[in-house]
Each structure stands twice: as structure tokens, then as C-alpha cells.
Amino acid sequence: MGFILDGLETESYDRKYPDRVLLRRILSYFRPQTLRMGVVSLALALTSIAGVVGPIVIARLIDLIIARPALGVFAAGAAAVVLLGGLGWVFGYVHERLGTIVVGDVVLQIRQEAFERTIGHDLSFYDEHPSGKIVSRIASDTQDFSNTVTLVSDLASQLLQVGLLAVWLSTINLRLTLLLFVMAPVAAAIALSFRAIARKVSLNAKRITADINSRIQESVSGIMVAKTFRQEGMLFSSFLDGNRQAYRVGLRRGLWINTIFPLMGIAVGAGNAMLAWSGALGLRAGALSPGDWFLFMQAVGYFWWPLMSIASFWSQFQDGLSAAERVFALIDREPRLRQTGENLPVGDVRAFGVEYRDVRFAYNDKETVLDGFSLVVRPGESLAVVGHTGAGKSSLARLAMRFYEFQGGQVLIDGTDIRSLELDAYRHRLGYVPQDPFLFSGTVLDNIRYGKPDATDEEVLFAASHLGRGDWLADLPNGLSSEAGERGSGISFGQRQLVALARILLKDPALFILDEATASVDPFTEAQIQEGLATVMEGRTAIIIAHRLSTVRHADRIIVLDRGRILEEGTHEGLLDEGGTYAQLYNTYFRHQSMEYIEQPLKE
């Protein structure tokens, strides 16, 4: 079949667990629910029995009424049928309700575990897994998995009914029962081919929907760029293409499904006719009572549907298993950070001393970022790190933050190996402003309070107004109650940095790490940030990855980093005099930021 979307992108997930391991793992989640599962199974069996006994009672009733058409028999039979229906409903209710609770509990637990593990992972995890996939693993894969469990229990109930009915029927008339069973493979074959087609058309429909969604999402999030380059028309026509394709796929899907269902109807009709014919022959020969004939006709329905479920079952079951597998892969991902477990306490000092000793570090096996890197930062010292983009400056900061595991050497905090420290307590004393400070949606006040959740409004205000001279607060549209917006987009870039600094001031860190933004801010904001920095750095150890001359100048010491190595170190003046890489950097990056440069007369 030449489906138009055969080339659409598919997602591939690596399969790591053998089925047996996977099933055992899934079962382990149900183990705490053993009692409930027992009740569910019992209710399920009783529902099936009630469902099968109903037609049997009616069949008996037909025979009885033909033999002796008394009103009493008729009433008793009707009452029995109603009672069976009622019982069936009650058992069904118990089974459905309790079953839903069991599955819900299991999903709750798996989701909890998956999320807990996810947020516990170090940053290399987030480099490897795009956020969209993590979201879908936690949110929808757990759901798919639970659907599979429901599917299994429904199928079990249907199979039980078929089994019970088959036993009963074979005691009545073996030949007709065999005929029913001969029809089984035919039914299964039809159902399978139906399933294969339906699956293909549905899959294509799913893919095109995902494709359209991502087009819409990209258009919306990139709208500013699109407008700048006047590309709205292009966006629209690309959307239109996708939308038309979706229309065609949807139409095709509807057509196929609507063609196949009547085909199934024909097959069912043919089966019925065959059974009716054989039954009529049996009736004429006296081998079958009218009631039994009725029962056999009823049985066809009972036989067909479970067979179709089985046919479609396998692929859905596989889908559920792979969903479970994706979730387990998320849960089981080995933590890369290796703490020794000694959990040594962190000294209650004003400033940490930091030492990198012969450190080797790589994000992945493609490229080594630091190799044999050594550096000592004394307590209370402020160190500026400068260097070209990609030199490894941010990586240095990330190692001290313990965001990534390094492969060789040691990082020492006041002489203690960072791996043997109590990580939570250590991070509690760190103040880190990343290159692109992240603000949560909420007010500026909420965002500053993030540094110390139990801080009062007064404390927040105190910290904010002690950052620099507090002038920046007046520039916020609503002071501390200004909305930060999504990711902080509601306030300016410089203001975001100031909020990030105020956050740190509230925390009183013993090591301050600033990964200065490469983006420039206006001189006024820069001056405010500079004042803020002076407040934060006072008496503390600071590692400043600097992109601004003003920050570099205020540092006690400067190191120049290049491809993971320290090329030069010293003070601003000393390094300028040396006339090396720093002097070069100064001339290309920093000099135009200096007052001398700005004030010098224009040369012709």
C-alpha cells in the first residue's frame, strides 16, 4: 500500500531489557496490591461466569417453554435472567472499580519514582535527554503502560468466558462446537489483517499530528524572528502543507476503517449463516433442541470478539511493554556523580578555599575539556577567569558546583575532597549565577526568595536594597512585585542578573561563582551590577568568569584560560605589561569598554 507518509520520522528507543526481566519488574509494582488483585481476579471470574450463564439460562428457558408453555416457568426464567444481569453488573463494578484503583496506584508510584529520579540526576543527564522526551516519558508513557494492564485484564475475562462456553457447548453438541473453533483461525486472520492496516493508518495519523504540533510550536516560539524577517507567509504556507497532508491522511484513515468494518460484518454474517445452517440440520435430525440452537448462535459473538482482541492484543501489549521500558530506563539511569558516601560536614566558614588538583574532565568521549588542570583559589580571594569562547571557563564553574562528574584528579574544598562532602550542605553554601540566569514565573520577590524559601518579605527587601545601592529596584516597573514572566522575559536581561545576585545575597554563600553573560548591558545597568557584585563578593571567595572589563579589573587575580590550560596569571596591570594573550584579549575585547578608550580623542 503506497501510504503517502511512509517517510515520516519515527522515534527509535533503544531496547535494553529482556521481556522476562521487564515483566518481572512490572509485576513487582503490583506486589503490594496482592490482596486487591485477588479480589479483582475473583470479581473478574464471577463477571465472566454471570455473562456466560445468562445465554445458557435463556436457552434452557426456550426448551422449557416449547415443552410446557406455562406462565410460571416463563416468569421464573425471566427473573433468573434479570438476577444474572444484576449480579454481572455488581461483579463488573467491583472488578472495574478496584482494578482502576490498583492501576492508578501503580501509575502514581511509577510516576513519582520517575520524577524523583529525574530531578535527582546530574546535568549530563539533561544533555543526553531532550526535555520534551523526559516529559513524555513521565507523563504519557506511564499512562500507556497502565492502559496495557487494563487490556490484559479485559482479555483475561473474555478468554475465561470463551473457555467456559466451549466446555458447556461441547457437552451439548461436539460437531457444532468444532465448527465454532474452525471459524476461529479465520476470524483471527481477518482481525489480524484489519489490525495491521488500522495500525498503519493510525500511526501515520499520529505522526502527522505530532509533526503539525511541532510546526505550530516552533512557529509560535520563533515568532519574533519570523516577524523580523517577514517570514509569516512562509510559516503559514508550511503549516498549510502540513495541515493538508493531515487532512488527506485523516480521510484515508476514515475510508480504510469504514471499508474494513463492513467487511468484518460480511465475515461474521457468513460464519453465522454456516452455523445457522448446521444448527438447522441438527434440529431437523433431532440432535439439537431449539434452545441449544439459540445458544450456539449466541456463542458466535462470544467467540469472535476475544479472538479479535487477541489479534490486536500482541502489538498493543508490545507498545505497553516498550512504554514501561522507556520509563524504567529513565528510573534506572546510573547516576554519574560519585560521592564517596562519607558525607563529611562542611565547615561553617565565611569563605571556602578551592583547589583543582590535576583535574581531567570531559562531557563525553569526543573531547576532553580539562586535562591535568591545577588551580588554587584562596579563601576570600576573587579570581577572574578570562579566555576565548569554548576555553572551558563555564566547565570549571560547573565542576566546583558539582554539576558534572570529572574523570581524574581532585577538587578540594578547604582541603577536603569534594566527593566526600555532604553535597546538600555544600551546595547550600554556594552562590551561583549562570551565564543565562533562569527566573521562574512569579514576582521578582518570589524569585529572590528562591535563594532562601523561609525568608520574610523584609529580609528579601533588605537583601535587594543592599545590592549595590538598591537603585535597580526603582527601575523595575512594579518594584519587587513586578512579574518576572516566563523564564524572566518580563524584565530586562540586566535586571535578571541583578535578581540572580540578590537571590545569592539572601543565601550568604562561602563561594560565589559568577558566569558572566556574554551579552552586553547598558553602562548604567553595568554600573549597578558592578556595585551589586562588590556587595556579594565582600569577604567571600569568588570565581568570576568575566566578559566585562569592569569585572576583570576588580578581581584580585586574573587567569587566562585557553583550551583547558592556564596560559597566564596575574593582576590586570601586570598582565598588560607582559604583553601576552591577556594584552591581546584586552585589545580586542576589553579596551573599547574602558573609560580611557571612550575618552580618547577620535583619530583621523
Binding positions for Mg ion, rule: CB under 5 A: 394
299 or 397, CB closer to ligand ATP?
A: 397
The DSSP result for 162-222, as a single string, is: HHHHHHHHHHH-HHHHHHHHHHHHHHHHHHHHHHHHHHHHHHHHHHHHHHHHHHHHHHHHT
Q: Which is nearer to ligand ATP, 33 or 395 (CB)?
A: 395
Residue 581 interacting with ligand ATP (CB under 6 A): no
Q: Which stretch binds ligand ATP (CB under 6 A): 146-154, 179-187, 360-368, 445-453?
A: 360-368
Task: Tell me, residue by residue from 369 to 388, as one string, x for binding to ligand ATP by CB under 6 A and - for no binding.
Answer: x-----------------x-
Query: For residues 512 and 541, is the Cβ–Cβ distance under 8 A?
Result: yes
* Other beta carbons within 10 Å of 4: 12
Nearer to Mg ion, 3 or 589 (CB): 589
Cβ–Cβ contacts within 10 Å for residue 306, how many? 22
Among the candidate windows 107-115, 222-230, 359-367, 477-485, which touches ligand ATP by CB under 6 A? Answer: 359-367
Binding residue for ligand ATP, selected from 395, 416, 443, 447, defined by CB under 6 A: 395
Residue 130: CB minimum distance to Mg ion, A:
21
> What DSSP state is assigned to residue 32?
G
Question: Is residue 54 a contact residue for ligand ATP (CB under 6 A)?
Answer: no
Task: Tally the residues of the chain.
Answer: 604
Which amino acid, residue 515?
D
Question: Which residues does 86 contact at the CB level (< 8 Å), separation at least 6?
Answer: none
Q: Which is nearer to Mg ion, 476 or 545 (CB)?
A: 545
**In the complex, minimum distance from the CB of residue 38 to ligand ATP, in angstroms, rounded to a whole number:** 50
Q: Which stretch binds ligand ATP (CB under 6 A): 112-120, 309-317, 392-400, 527-535?
A: 392-400
Q: Which does 364 bind (CB under 5 to 8 A by kind): ligand ATP, Mg ion, none?
A: ligand ATP
Counting contacts by CB under 6 A, is residue 389 touching ligand ATP? yes
DSSP state for residue 540 in the 8-state scheme: S
Does the protein bind ligand ATP through residue 128 (CB under 6 A)? no
CB of residue 160 vs ligand ATP: minimum separation in angstroms? 54
**Which of ligand ATP, Mg ion, none does residue 363 bind (CB under 5 to 8 Å by kind)?**
ligand ATP
Tell which one of 19, 116, 127, 232 touches ligand ATP (CB under 6 A). Answer: 127
CA 68 to chain CA centroid, nearest Å: 67
Which 443-472 positions form the footprint of ligand ATP (CB under 6 A)?
A: none
DSSP labels, 270-307: HHHHHHHHHHHHHHHHTSS-HHHHHHHHHHHHHHHHHH
d(CA 180, CA 320) in angstroms, rounded, equals 31
**Least distance to ligand ATP, CB of residue 584, Å:** 16
Q: How many CA atoms lie within 13 A of 441 on its CB side?
A: 2
Size of site (CB under 6 A) for ligand ATP? 14
* 392, 409, 437, 488: residue in contact with ligand ATP (rule CB under 6 A): 392
Please report how close the Cβ of residue 575 comes to ligand ATP at its closest, in angstroms: 18
Residue nearest to Mg ion (CB): 394
Interior angle at CA 426, CA 368 and CA 447, nearest 5: 95
Max CA distance (Å), the chain: 124
Residue (of 301, 541, 600, 230) closest to 412 by Cα position: 541
d(CA 589, CA 597): 12
Could you say whether residue 399 binds ligand ATP (CB under 6 A)?
no
Q: How far apart are CA 234 and CA 322, in angstroms?
A: 38
- What does the binding site for ligand ATP look like in residue numbers (CB under 6 A)? 127, 363-364, 367, 369, 387, 389-395, 435
